[in-house]
């Protein structure tokens, strides 16, 4: 049975339409542009009637929309980070002791409540399909994110912190109704901090449904549950004794850090 073509997006720019088409094709979805020829002949004339329409079969509609939504979110979160000067370039000492030429300074983002709220809305959209009763955020960066996402989704909120060098749930929280949770982190590099949170929750018999982060720095982390991020950034890091930036004589900067131990390579 032949599938009906449906329009999933409209564009008033040929370049943007071509990019969206290429994105879907790269994901194995057959897509087509309608009105492209008409628009190219009379650009700017009656745009309400001559939008370029991106079309796919009805069978591919849901997946195609998800791909486009993910791409839009990716672009939006990158623009938010850049707009708040949260993506820094230079020569940075990470808490693992390794070096990097790029650093995501989440404090710059959290300092702007409007930007932080929008980021939390996007995180809430990622997590909405999952079945959970509580949002967990590790101190400190994850606290703001987890609280606001919990508020948006109407869930409970708790946070974890290090006590005697071990991750623990902050005392005073009532855990009697906490059964299924999601974990929110700001930036994930190796995933070591998240693994500590997961171990802490497992000890309490809490089942984690998903982990979400603003940025995944190419961690390749396996948390034993879905790992969702608004933005993936492949940022190389190097051992201190094999750093090309050191070889170039670029001054080393130690950006702001939490109470993670710098000698522990799992904490970045």
pTM for this entry: 0.72
Tokens 């606290």: give the residue.
Answer: 143
Helix (H) or strand (E) holding 261: none
Mean pLDDT of 112-119: 94
| Domains of the chain as residue ranges with CATH | 5-71 (3.30.70.1530), 85-247 (3.40.50.2020)
Burial class (CB in 10 A: 0-12, 13-18, 19+), 242: exposed
Give the pLDDT confidence score for residue 258 in this predicted structure: 52
Indicate the range of 17-21, 83-87, 116-120, 234-238 predicted with least confidence.
17-21
Find out whether 87 and 64 touch, Cβ atoms under 8 Å.
Answer: no
Question: pLDDT tens digits, residue range 208-220?
Answer: 999 999 998 877 8
Is the link from the previous residue into 215 a cis peptide, with omega within 30 of 0? no
Buried b (16+ CB within 10 A) or exposed e, 73-100: beeebeebbeebebbeeebbbbbbebbb
CA–CA dist 161, 196 (Å, integer) = 10
User: For residue 260, what pLDDT band results from cuts at 50, 70 and 90?
Assistant: low
User: For residue 32, what pLDDT band results from cuts at 50, 70 and 90?
Assistant: confident
Mean pLDDT of 138-154: 94
CA–CA dist 146, 155 (Å, integer) = 10
Give the pLDDT confidence score for residue 263 in this predicted structure: 37
| Nearest CA-CA partner of 29 in 62, 1, 52 | 62
């Amino acid at each position: 049975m032949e599938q009906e073509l449906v329009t999933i997006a409209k564009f008033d720019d040929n370049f943007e339409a071509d990019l969206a088409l290429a994105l879907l094709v790269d994901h194995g979805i057959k897509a087509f542009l309608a009105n492209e020829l008409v628009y190219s002949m009379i650009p700017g004339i009656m745009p309400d009637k001559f939008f370029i329409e991106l079309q796919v079969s009805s069978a591919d509609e849901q997946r195609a929309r998800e791909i486009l939504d993910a791409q839009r979110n990716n672009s939006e979160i990158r623009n938010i980070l850049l707009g708040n000067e949260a993506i820094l370039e230079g020569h940075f000492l990470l808490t693992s002791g390794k070096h990097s030429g790029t650093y995501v300074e989440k404090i710059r983002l959290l300092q702007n409540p409007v930007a932080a709220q929008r980021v939390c809305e996007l995180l809430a959209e990622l997590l909405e399909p999952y079945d959970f009763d509580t949002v967990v955020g590790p101190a400190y960066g994850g606290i703001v994110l987890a609280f606001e996402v919990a508020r948006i989704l109407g869930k409970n909120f708790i946070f974890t912190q290090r006590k005697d060098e071990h991750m623990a749930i902050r005392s005073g929280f009532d855990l009697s109704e906490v059964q299924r949770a999601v974990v929110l982190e700001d930036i994930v590099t190796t995933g070591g901090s998240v693994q500590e949170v997961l171990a802490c929750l497992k000890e309490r018999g809490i089942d984690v449904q998903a982990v979400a982060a603003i940025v995944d720095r190419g961690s390749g982390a396996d948390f034993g549950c879905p790992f969702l991020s608004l933005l993936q950034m492949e940022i190389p890091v190097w051992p201190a004794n094999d750093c090309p930036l050191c070889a170039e004589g670029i001054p080393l900067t130690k950006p702001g850090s939490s109470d993670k131990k710098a000698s522990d390579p799992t904490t970045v």
